[in-house]
Chains A and B, each alone.
Chain A
Amino acid sequence: MKHIAVAEATLEPVAGRESNDFASVTPIHQILAPFPVAYFAAAFVTDLAYWRTAEVMWERFSVWLIAGGLAISALVALAAVIDLVFARQQPAWFRALSYAVAVLLSLLNVFVHSRDGYTAVLPTGMTLSAIVVAILLVYSITAGWTLTDRRHGVRS
């Protein structure tokens, strides 16, 4: 691969550089993807705090964090589509799906957290928060923040 790339670069310096630059541009969604992860993880922490204290402030933190995470998730999805269409990316199925499951569960969770009183968090809300964090841990450990891979076999 290297050889070919070098050969190409040598033979067609202008075209080669263009192709290389384009592929190495960070996909847009990759910039946004960590935010929901951080928000959902923080919501789990504030859920734990609510569990220990029954102090409504923590429940409010949780529901705003989950809602914020969902709002940015929508942007992530939009950006991922743009990346797939325009930036020569293909879905990284495992990561993309685990991310999607985490977001869907968080959607469920924002409704649970919108209940009034203790059952906004316990037991269902905190359980969902924990599951989401577990899924996202697996996701981030396996591959950082990207939901797509560079498309293989694409030549300019």
Chain B
Amino acid sequence: MNRRSIQRPAKLKCLATASAIAVAGLALASCDDAGGNPAMQVGANPVLPALQQYLLPPIRIAPPVPWGNDTPKVPPGLQIHALATGFEHPRSLYVLPNGDILVVESNGPKAPVFRPKDIITAWVETSAGARAKAPNRITLLRDTNGDGIPDERTVFLDHLNSPFGVALVGHFLYVADTDAIVRYPYQDGETAITAPGVKLTDLPGGPIDHHWTKSLVASPDGSKLYVGVGSNSNVTENGIEAEHERAAIWEVDIETGAHRIYASGVRNPTGLQFEPETKKLWAIANERDEIGPDLVPDYLTSVQDGGFYGWPYSYYGQHLDPRVEPQRPDLVARAIVPDYALSSHVAPLGLAMYMGTELPASYRGGTFVSEHGSWDRTPLNGYKVVFVPFANGKPSGVAQDVVTGFLDGDNHTHGRPVGLAVDRRGALLIADDVGNTVWRVSSAPTTPVPKPAQ
């Protein structure tokens, strides 16, 4: 008989129970962790709670269900209809000078598995409808009779590599694939480009390519391209060397392809655009995850030449992120606080500065931002298009919901808004990469049009 085995179990059982409770308790703690009112984090001075670290980071996905006959909702005075449907994961939109609409159908490259966690992440993204096959093409929509409904649809460019940004300068169309900017000759009125592209410059791509979307905008004088290059991780978990020239906005010379880092420390910059009044560059950014439902607010900001915006070392100025070692106090000291918070985990991925006349005058001069929607926050946040009013080239008020209804009452998602554009007549276009639709928002007719008898 082993005497030891009789005498000690009480103590050990206690330890075992304690650790079992610890595991269960911590797991529960992370489940019962609802975020606060997102309105507290919209605007120039977001409330930033203390950061927390998880054992089980929350995963809260909205399962996709088809739109059916439903559409997103717009406030009175506006109307919305599907411009075209049946796309494959439409991510961004671009309107050519003749009014043709380019729909970039794209998805990221397959993510590598570095840790057991990556297997879980892949599964989560699949259930959220984010792992659709990458179609890697651009579709052109043309409205020949001016009724706002496109009647021609052609494949404009095919066999691209996870494209996202598009910019036309003169007679050259620049397409930002995930790993390069490629230049194509474009003639007015073309419905398909068959000429081979010429690479202007490489961009940071695989093999990891965590944030793969490369947003693109040309400077007003057409001499430079600005490219949003997202980070290669949530917060350097793939090593700082994987972040070389990432989490940055590049300035690329349109003639030579030479680049410099225009601004850095922006985790995932997209929606690059020049503010029409001041001609300053603006961007939206997706901030980091896994330090709480209300950290870190995603933002809209003007981009300063040479500016550093914190990632990965800090957020909103000098709020240090303990997950990054070694730290860089020299960089943190000059980290810029972004101009306008959009609240946490909303995932802004599209921006349209509105200078059109189709929508009510109150929208003129302001900015639409599409919020793709959270996947790691309770309650869900985003899943809508908001309007941020601007005055004198700066945000001047509280963001208003403009297009909603992407989520239903059961937290299922019919669609998720991504790229935004303004069409030639001034209507707002929204790419929906789960509903596989492009939506068009215009002013509602002042007198209700009677429905034609069927």
Contacts and interface: CB of A to CB of B under 8 A. Distances in A.
Contact of A119 (B15, B16, B322): B322
A104 B326 CA distance: 31
B121 to A, nearest CB: 10
B12 A104 contact: no
Q: Is the interface of A mostly helix, strand, loop or mixed?
A: helix
A148 B223 CA distance: 77
Contacts of A55: 239
A118 B322 contact: yes
B19 A110 contact: no
B5 interface: yes
Tell me what chain B mostly uses at the interface: helix, strand, loop, or mixed.
loop
Interface residues on B, range: 35 or more
Contact of A152 (B1, B8, B323): B1
A63 B20 CA distance: 20
Contacts of A105: 19
Contact of B235 (A108, A111, A114, A117): A117
Contact of A56 (B5, B22, B238): B238
A37 interface: no
Interface string B111-125: 000111100000000
Contacts of A67: 116
Interface string B293-316: 000000000000000000010000
B19 to A, nearest CB: 4
A80 B323 CA distance: 39
B54 interface: yes
Contacts of B324: 117-118
Interface of A: 54-57, 59-60, 63-64, 67, 91-95, 97-98, 100-101, 104-105, 107-108, 110-112, 114-120, 122, 142, 149, 152
Interface of B: 1-2, 4-6, 8-9, 12-13, 15-16, 19-20, 22-23, 26, 53-56, 114-117, 233-239, 289-290, 312, 321-326
